[in-house]
Amino acid sequence: MSESDFTSDILDPEPGILIESLRDIGYSFNSALADIIDNSISANASHIDVLAIPADDFYVSIIDNGAGMSASELRKAMRLGSTSPRAERAPKDLGRFGLGMKTASFSQCRRLTVASRCEGSLSAFTWDLDVVINDNSWKIIERHDFESIRGLEYLTGDGTLVLWEKVDRLSGASGSAKVSYYARVISEAQSHLALVFHRFLAGEPGLSRIDISFNGRKLDPIDPFNSRHKATQVQPFEVICPGVTMQAFTLPHRSHYTSQQEYDYYGLRDGYLKNQGVYLYRAKRLILYGTWFGVAKKTALTQLTRVKIDIGVDQDELWKIDVKKVSAQMPEVVRNRIKTLIASIGAPSKKTYRRRAIRLTSPEAYPAWAVEQSGEKRIYRINRENPVISALRTDVGEENAKALESVFSLIESTFPTESLFYDLENNTESVSFEPIDNESFSVAAKAFFSQLKQRGIPEEDVLGIMRAAEPFASSWSKTLGALGIDETEE
């Protein structure tokens, strides 16, 4: 085929149509903010300020103290597709397509201004989507009215300001409820950034530590592995393949935390069950988390398992990192290795729960519920040998013993197994049981102690048994108080 056999024509995209389409790539407010901060880190910023002003004229500014850009460099950076995704990037460059700053900003606002100071020289440009649509051209506005650019007063030295105005994508409440809506949006954004950039905020070895302040609040890193807790189980660091490393963590059980609030903090926003799985980092920046990439199912027994996978910027195509840097696909070579490791990865989490289950149903601890093996089935029954239950059976007398046994059988046969299993699979944190009140606790402790003493068990041994039996073990001081025993005597 020769050139004379066909003709060619240039079909430029319609600016007004394309610019509106680019707004719907799929950024959230949180992921858009993170994409802007990526640029600040790539510019070697050590301090980043985020200002999100909760007013009717809501605007957001991100100011860093990075290297800054000259006017020509800034103009190029404002172009859509300013850098080829195939171009070789520096190992610490968090960019990807040369689209992030623009598409992330357009997804949230209709007016984007970027001002940058480099070696004392200040320049600024604005994309106004309404101007692009009205003129149907890729018209960018060069700014010289610096005093009217909001937030520019915070750019005191070299660095860059990204300003979002006409923020129209935060469609929440209206009127008086708008203030609380913005407060929730800001709070969630703060938590998101503290998690995504936690390794930079912590100053992990090999990384320059950065500070991020959000509306004047300095963000503390949220370590999803709770790696400093003495009860966290850390598996050996492993190289999966060139450019991909892995390390698995088993988070502490609830019993190792001093409060429910601390336990919930490390469960992250959606809790332990949903946030188990792989935490994928690109150049130490969290890309996505809480997924097994289809190689395993999320179960209650593995909910404490989290796997850190690190990849470099040269792995983008292999992992199919998207423009928003919030999704990826696990390559087959990694998937196959993870499959072979999955049993050992989840084993510590399963062991934690199974060990606790064995302790809570051990006959030596006189549990309220006993487990009996019947063929291939495990049957849960009210433990008639539990001292408190045994005392009750004695107190009601022979004539009421049958009625009491009928009540026990009714409770056992109607236990809501399916409902409990469903709730545990979907949201473990939502499952709780009514705590025993102080008076009932005291009565139970005295009955337990008295029954075992009547069976001829020495007092010291009875206390040893109660130390392992719930609910006494987890409230030992309270147990001793109910028995009238001074802790110093014990």
The pair of three-digit structure tokens given for residue 12, joined into one six-digit string: 């430029």
What's the whole-number average pLDDT of the chain? 85
pLDDT tens digits, one per residue of 417-434: 777 776 766 666 667 778
Residue 157 has pLDDT above 60, yes or no: yes
Residue 452 backbone class (left: φ over 0; alpha: ψ -120 to 50; beta: rest): alpha
Query: Would you kindly state where each structural domain of the chain is located, as residue ranges?
Result: 15-217, 233-359, 365-483
pLDDT tens digits, one per residue of 65-115: 999 999 999 999 999 865 544 445 454 545 444 567 899 999 999 999 999
Residue 385 has pLDDT above 90, yes or no: no
Residue 409: predicted pLDDT: 86
206 or 341, higher pLDDT: 206
Which range (8-22, 283-297, 415-429) has the least confidence? 415-429
Residue 279 has pLDDT above 70, yes or no: yes
CA-CA-CA-CA torsion sign (367, 373, 374, 380): positive
* CATH fold of the domain at 15-217: Heat Shock Protein 90 (3.30.565)
CATH number of 233-359: 3.30.230
Residue 33 has pLDDT above 60, yes or no: yes
The amino acid at residue 115 is A
Confidence tier at 353 by pLDDT (50, 70, 90):
low
Confidence tier at 461 by pLDDT (50, 70, 90):
confident
Residue 322: predicted pLDDT: 80
Which range (51-55, 58-62, 437-441) has the least confidence? 51-55
Residue 181 has pLDDT above 70, yes or no: yes
Which range (39-43, 157-161, 201-205, 484-488) has the least confidence? 484-488
Residue whose tokens read 């800001």: 186
Residues of the chain above pLDDT 90, percent: 43
Average pLDDT over residues 256-272: 92
pLDDT tens digits, one per residue of 242-252: 889 999 999 99
